[in-house]
Amino acid sequence: MPRFTDNWVLDKSMFDYVQGGSCACCGFPHIFNIGGLEGLIQSMSDLETDAANQEIDAAKMSPWPEDMRDGIWTDRLLLRYRMKKEMRGYRHFLEEVVRNHHHDGDDATTPIDIKKAIPILHNFCTKHLTPFQLRQIFQLPRSELPEILKTKYKIHASAYAIVFCTVVEQVANFHVTKYPVDGRRFGSSGGGGCDLDDAEVEFEVDLRYDKFGPGFYIGIIDKNDDGDGATSTSGDDNNNSEECCWRVNETVLLRFLQRMVSLGGPTLLARAAKTSHDNQDDSDDDDEEENNSSTTTTPPAVGSNVPSFRSDRRVIRLLIARYWADGVMEKYRESQQMKEKKKEGGTE
């Protein structure tokens, strides 16, 4: 069996679960859901109707014990519920960035176009941060993701935590599977301005993994072969001798900032474009991935009865994007605080 495929995830998770076991309180979450397994899967709003039905059939045929299977779906749902609640914070930050630079639009009743934050943050990253600082922000050890699941989202040792760790390993070695990209396109923007349609797909393509280096990273800086110095003007870094050898890859940075803007919603995971034959699927949840045979084909997992872990991979990449967005947000707010202190010092 090829490594890192969905079959591999299924078998490895099962092996790790049997080896480690789970506590009784985590083992029977389905007793709190009247609809049982089908209710859990159908309540997962980012699964389209056909995918949900396929998951139900595959789960019933899977070798996973019932308590493990239901536990996975319960925590899967819980994670996404908590992640959806955090989208508001990213939108508020982007609105804050726009307000700070466009003081003439302070009217609270006027909607703010958060895409305007992209050039502002691009300028901040290239003019106020060094390539070395950006490189530090845009890296994430693989072991950090299970820690985020445990400490931030309060999902501790459970069946889903085992699956999560296994899928993280799959994402790190995704190129081995030969699967097509997992990402979706919003399919809702009318073009012009900043194109966010491909933000998730482009981030997935840019995402890399180095087992012996930083872990997950994107190529945010390049070797400076021109000898004309880095694009940063910050002078507070102690690695000046190294700085002249690197420059910011502004294309990769721009694509990440587009992904960062998409973190503010309106959806947790982007929808595929809706087609005319999707009308029977009338769910009103804004995170539903609409059915589109040309863009939503789930890679076969060598057998129709094997669950797909595509949506889990998308969530893991989303967690990585959020982690790096949090780093940019922290640096930006630190810079704003320093500006405020300088203003206060100048008025005294």
List, for residues 120-165, the tens digit of each pLDDT value.
999 999 999 999 999 999 999 999 999 999 999 999 888 999 999 9
Average the pLDDT over each of 17-21, 179-183, 215-219, 324-328 and give the range with the smallest value.
Answer: 17-21
Q: CA 118 to CA 94: how far, in whole Å?
A: 9
Confidence of residue 305 (pLDDT cuts 50, 70, 90): low
**Is residue 97 over pLDDT 80?**
yes
Query: pLDDT tens, 173-209?
Result: 999 999 999 997 655 444 444 567 789 999 999 999 9
| CA angle, residues 141, 255, 259, in degrees to nearest 5 | 70
**Is residue 319 over pLDDT 50?**
yes
| Closest of 210, 213, 205, 186 to residue 197, by C-alpha | 186
| Closest of 239, 244, 264, 249 to residue 125, by C-alpha | 249
**Is residue 286 over pLDDT 60?**
no
Confidence of residue 317 (pLDDT cuts 50, 70, 90): very high
Q: CA 172 to CA 280: how far, in whole Å?
A: 37
Q: CA 327 to CA 72: how far, in whole Å?
A: 30
Query: Is the Cα torsion angle 166, 172, 177, 181 positive or negative in sign?
Result: positive
Q: What confidence score (pLDDT) does residue 277 get? A: 37
Q: What confidence score (pLDDT) does residue 244 get? A: 66
**Is residue 318 over pLDDT 60?**
yes
Query: pLDDT tens, 52-76?
Result: 676 667 666 666 788 888 888 889 8
Q: Which residue has the higher pLDDT, 77 or 129?
A: 129
Element (H, E) at 92: helix 66-101
What is the average per-residue pLDDT within 81-106?
88
Whether 268 and 322 have beta carbons less than 8 Å apart is answered as: no
Whether 191 and 16 have beta carbons less than 8 Å apart is answered as: no
Q: What confidence score (pLDDT) does residue 22 get? A: 46
Q: Which of helix, strand or coil describes residue 227?
A: coil
Q: What confidence score (pLDDT) does residue 281 get? A: 32
Cβ contacts of 119 within 8 Å, gap of 6 or more: none
Q: What confidence score (pLDDT) does residue 282 get? A: 34
**Is residue 36 over pLDDT 80?**
no
Cβ contacts of 345 within 8 Å, gap of 6 or more: none
**Is residue 253 over pLDDT 60?**
yes
Q: Which residue has the higher pLDDT, 289 or 203?
A: 203
Q: What confidence score (pLDDT) does residue 116 get? A: 95
Q: Which residue has the higher pLDDT, 16 or 274?
A: 16
Q: What confidence score (pLDDT) does residue 119 get? A: 96
What is the average per-residue pLDDT within 236-252?
70
Query: pLDDT tens, 22-35?
Result: 443 444 444 345 56
- Amino acid of residue 295: T
Q: What confidence score (pLDDT) does residue 44 get? A: 60
Q: Which residue has the higher pLDDT, 313 or 308?
A: 313
**Is residue 5 over pLDDT 60?**
yes
Whether 116 and 222 have beta carbons less than 8 Å apart is answered as: no
* Main-chain phi, psi angles of 247, to 5 degrees: -140, 155
Every domain of the chain and the residues it spans: 6-347
- First vs last Cα of the chain: how many Å apart? 71
Q: What confidence score (pLDDT) does residue 269 get? A: 86
Confidence of residue 278 (pLDDT cuts 50, 70, 90): very low
**Is residue 110 over pLDDT 90?**
no
Q: What confidence score (pLDDT) does residue 66 get? A: 82
**Is residue 345 over pLDDT 80?**
no
Q: CA 37 to CA 43: how far, in whole Å?
A: 10
Q: What confidence score (pLDDT) does residue 297 get? A: 41
Confidence of residue 103 (pLDDT cuts 50, 70, 90): low
